[in-house]
Amino acid sequence: MTVVFIAVMAIGNFVVSQYIFAAPGGYQALKAQLYLSGQPLSVDAALSADTAALYSGSPIDSEAAIAVNTDAPMNVVGGAALLNSDNPLSNVVPTRGGVLLYTVQSGDSASIIAANFGISLNTLIWANTGVNWSVLRPGQQLTILPVNGVLHQIQDGETLDSIAALYDVSVQSILHANPGFVPSQIATASSLIIPGGRPVRSTNYASLSGLPSLPGYFSIPTTGWNGGRLYSYNAVDITNACGTPVYAAAEGLVVEVVGSGWNGGYGNYILIDHPNGTKTRYAHTSKNLVSVGDYVAKGKEIALTGDTGQNDGPSGCNLHFEVYGAKNPFAK
């Protein structure tokens, strides 16, 4: 009977461990998911020696069994159970809206934090505009969304239907991601999690009124003919032959790289988030040479000009260069 019990427990342990580490994000993502669910258990205690050995590649002790230790030290904030203090996700405070506030620890990076919480790098960056990701400092506080998407700041006059239409998502998906939200009380709410959402274009970038001028901060992103005309979204078009190198106008973190599709007329493009809170977009590219998460220096070659998307340049090839958060220095 003892032999049968051990065999059954070993098989069950193996199946559970396979499920855990096949899940997106693996061990760290599981920690985040259990934390977000508010289950009062210690993840480290919940994983047996078998599971830890399987994850590390060490020999498996088939006589160990998965056990949940409900007596492990806990912290409770707002009704949610935090992980043990020695856990890398313990520096977390939940908010009423489901968003988490995470305090940066030594050794953290954008990619590590995103992986620990099981969200995309873009989701982390979009929720924390103005952060200099190249020099994260212990003690900084970051906003963490529980799902991939964006955090929408509700404006006067908006309705749940208009917000859903803005991001092209369903009302039901928004309600599911915001369980405490009451649609009839939208006037008193400040923000909503938009699952699967992406930052939307804003038409106020074309208006230079109020935008700061940053002389010398941005360098010309490519060679060619620039008529100086300011297009929508604070952009200029610089015309040259397809394949002309495109350079980063300032140092920063690559937050979006799109290599196919129409994309609202942009075609292929790259978006860079700069340390001073501004962003630059490089559109109509024929080939992108960087990846999301790359930190590029000013003047680094990042792409080649092309004619993807809606491109009306005289030669059919140009670079559409947008600046977000500051005046475009190349408009005349």
The one-digit pLDDT tens for each residue of the chain (332 residues) are 554 444 545 445 444 444 444 444 444 444 444 444 444 333 333 333 333 333 333 332 322 222 333 233 333 333 333 333 344 456 888 877 788 999 999 989 888 999 999 999 889 988 887 787 878 889 999 999 999 999 988 888 888 998 998 888 999 999 999 988 888 888 888 889 999 988 875 544 445 567 888 999 999 999 998 888 887 778 999 999 999 999 999 999 999 999 998 888 889 999 999 988 889 999 999 999 999 989 999 999 999 999 998 876 555 799 999 998 899 999 88
**Stretch (H or E) spanning 142:** strand 141-144
Specify the pLDDT at position 268.
94
158-192 b/e with 16+ CB inside 10 Å = b? bebeebbeebebeeebbeebbeebeeeeeeebebb
* Count helices and strands in the chain by DSSP H and E runs: 8, 17
Specify the pLDDT at position 323.
93
229's tokens: 């005309």
pTM for the model stands at: 0.50
Q: Does domain 204-324 have CATH number 2.70.70.10?
A: yes
Half-sphere exposure of 243 (CA within 13 A, CB side): 1
Specify the pLDDT at position 82.
35
Q: Does domain 149-195 have CATH number 3.10.350.10?
A: yes
Half-sphere exposure of 48 (CA within 13 A, CB side): 19
Burial (CB < 10 A; 0-12, 13-18, 19+), residue 243, is: exposed
What CA–CA distance (Å, rounded) separates 196 from 39? 25
Q: What are the residue ranges spanned by the domains of the chain?
A: 1-73, 149-195, 204-324
Specify the pLDDT at position 132.
79
Q: Could you give phi then psi for residue 283, rounded to 5 degrees?
A: -115, 165
